Structure 1
Amino acid sequence: MGEWLRPWLLLPLISLLGACTTIQLEPLPEGMTDQPPADWTERATQLSRFDHWQLMGKLAVRQPSDSGTALINHWIQNGEAYDLALSSSVLGMGRTALKGVPGFIELTMPNGDIYRSGEPEALVEAATGWHLPLTHLTWWIRGLPAPEGDFRLLFDEGRQLAMIRQAGWEIRYDRWQQFLPDHPALPSKITALKGDKRVRLVVSEWRNLEPTR
């Protein structure tokens, strides 16, 4: 599915990365700049093409409605399609599975109940109490802004991406790591903040599932 969609997804992203966005942030946080390094466009293009992957790690959510942690048994991304398996005592002992594409999700609860919806974020929040920006996270977890909507990129003194502001969220890149050879460094710890909501992802492993061309 992701293969034939990729050209029209990639072109808008590259266009957005070079465009002036409307999100304003004054003053800039100390030690940060909104001027991208010289290799940013090339690095972002590489990351946008990296759309068949698997990661494992941990998810922590702190929100007024509910808080807790979950193991990410796997998050498999195949183009636009995702398969996310979580284990959490908050969600119930056992595994909770989220499978879908933008605009559709199938949620399987630990007791075997299956729910389907055309509004992924609303269904996850109704079922678990957690507000997870699933569609945007597919991009943010790689260190990219989502192609839909305005955004602001901030870089640290080492010229590494430190923050994305988009869709009302502030995504902070706390740690990067060279997980894969011949690929740019990938995030190993990110924190997404929106008002009194916080989502933290710690990645212990990235795998390349790129199909043979």
Structure 2
Amino acid sequence: MDNYKRFIAIPACLLTACATQKTMIEPQSPLPLAQQTTQNKSAPEAEKSVPGAEKAATISAKSISSWEIRGAMAAKNRNKGWSATMNWVQRGPSSYHLRLMGPLGAGSVLIDKTGSNITYKDGPKQVHSTNADQLLFQQTGVRLPVNNLYYWVRGLPAPGKVSSERYDQYHQLSQLQQNGYTISFGNYTRVKGVSLPGMVRLEGNGAMVKVLIRSWSF
């Protein structure tokens, strides 16, 4: 019940420091001349909703199913919360290895998923489940929608109903409402020609989760 205390809030410099470290990310390509007038529009016009159309950036991100992400994650639910540095290794849609590390080496939690089996490891403690979201809520006190984050972290809607979506002038997803969450995306960068978000923030279902990504590799 007190496991979330292992993740006492990291100073703000931990999250902001991500932006200053060397990464593997390529800079965003400039807009073609034909699109520059769109860039000069006011923000509401440039980010207006484009329903139904498949976006080129989305198609590219869909091709990535395995990766390693390094960065930071913070989560809060009903005044209980934690922050941690993060290492996320994904091997296809049904296998991942997510390590959350507390400040100054104070603690480390590992969430492993292979097929339908999820294992939560905190020191000598191990808990097994087939429901990652429920398992993490029980162990940390904060709801973390891991199954949806597999899509959201790439700037993609998760499967199922989408209440609304907005795209920026680069045709990158900037805001999404889905499954009771409002998800904001920002700091897009190019990795091997694919536009991927460097920040994903979601609010809803009594929780707030923020993911800051320092580096992508795949």
- Residues 198-213 of structure 1 mapped to structure 2, 5 A cutoff: 198-208=208-218
Other structure's SS at 2:58 match: helix
Compute the displacement of 1:38 (Å).
Answer: 7.1
Alignment correspondent of 1:5: none
Compute the displacement of 1:145 (Å).
Answer: 0.9
- Whichever residue aligns with residue 209 of structure 2, its letter is V
Other structure's SS at 1:147 match: coil
Structure 1 residues without counterparts, runs of 5 or longer: 1-28, 209-213
State the alpha-carbon separation in 2 of the partners of residues 124 and 174 from structure 1: 26
Q: Does 1:70 align with 2:84?
A: yes
State the alpha-carbon separation in 1 of the partners of residues 79 and 188 from structure 2: 30
Compute the displacement of 1:132 (Å).
Answer: 0.3
Compute the displacement of 1:44 (Å).
Answer: 2.0
C-alpha deviations, 1:17-76, integer Å up to 9, x for none?
xxxxxxxxxxxx944322169771x4322211201110000001122151121100x201
Alignment correspondent of 2:68: 54
Q: Does the CA-based 8 Å contact 1:145-1:151 persist in structure 2?
A: no
Q: Does the CA-based 8 Å contact 1:75-1:85 persist in structure 2?
A: yes
Q: Does the CA-based 8 Å contact 2:119-2:127 persist in structure 1?
A: yes
Q: Does 1:127 align with 2:142?
A: no
Q: Does the CA-based 8 Å contact 1:65-1:130 persist in structure 2?
A: no
Could you say if the C-alpha distance between residues 159 and 148 of structure 1 is closer, same or farther in structure 2, counting changes exceeding 3 Å?
closer
Q: Which has the larger radius of gyration?
A: 2
Alignment correspondent of 1:160: 172
Alignment correspondent of 1:26: none
Other structure's SS at 1:185 match: strand
Compute the displacement of 1:103 (Å).
Answer: 4.6
Q: TM-score, normalised by structure 1?
A: 0.73
- Whichever residue aligns with residue 163 of structure 1, its letter is Q
Alignment correspondent of 1:35: 50
Alignment correspondent of 1:87: 101
Compute the displacement of 1:151 (Å).
Answer: 4.5
State the alpha-carbon separation in 2 of the partners of residues 146 and 107 from structure 1: 24
Could you say if the C-alpha distance between residues 124 and 38 of structure 1 is closer, same or farther in structure 2, counting changes exceeding 3 Å?
closer
Alignment correspondent of 1:185: 195
Q: Does the CA-based 8 Å contact 1:37-1:159 persist in structure 2?
A: no
Compute the displacement of 1:149 (Å).
Answer: 3.6
Structure 2 residues without counterparts, runs of 5 or longer: 1-42
Root-mean-square deviation over aligned CA pairs:
2.3
- Whichever residue aligns with residue 125 of structure 2, its letter is D
- Whichever residue aligns with residue 183 of structure 2, its letter is I
- Whichever residue aligns with residue 58 of structure 2, its letter is A
Question: Once superposed, which parts of structure 1, at least 4 consecutive aligned residues long, lie more than 6 Å away?
Answer: none
Alignment correspondent of 1:14: none
Compute the displacement of 1:174 (Å).
Answer: 2.3
Other structure's SS at 2:113 match: strand
Counting matched residue pairs gives 173
Compute the displacement of 1:157 (Å).
Answer: 4.3
